[in-house]
Amino acid sequence: MPETKFPERLRSLVRKEQRHRKRYAIAELCGLDRSTIRRYERGEREPGLTEFISIADHFDVSLDYMAGLTNNPERNT
């Protein structure tokens, strides 16, 4: 996973959703702790596969988008 893309993408998605939900609610919906989400956003920590999938599922974006492999956030059906 490119080091810079995941934190940037996560920060962007969290900011968009924060208009409607608080960070702790976003973290809970992803099955994570609020501090863990914050560490991911800062690039201090990388998620494991389960967490990575959970985050992409929550934000309804593709894993490739979260990993920085594409700029298209839509999932393939």
Residue range 26-44, pLDDT digits in tens: 899 999 998 999 999 999 9
Taking only the tens place, the pLDDT of each residue in 45-65 is 999 999 999 999 999 999 999
Sketch the domain layout of the chain as residue ranges: 5-67
List the CATH code of the domain at 5-67: 1.10.260.40
Give the tokens for residue 28.
């809970």
What count of residues does the chain have? 77
Give the global pTM. Answer: 0.86
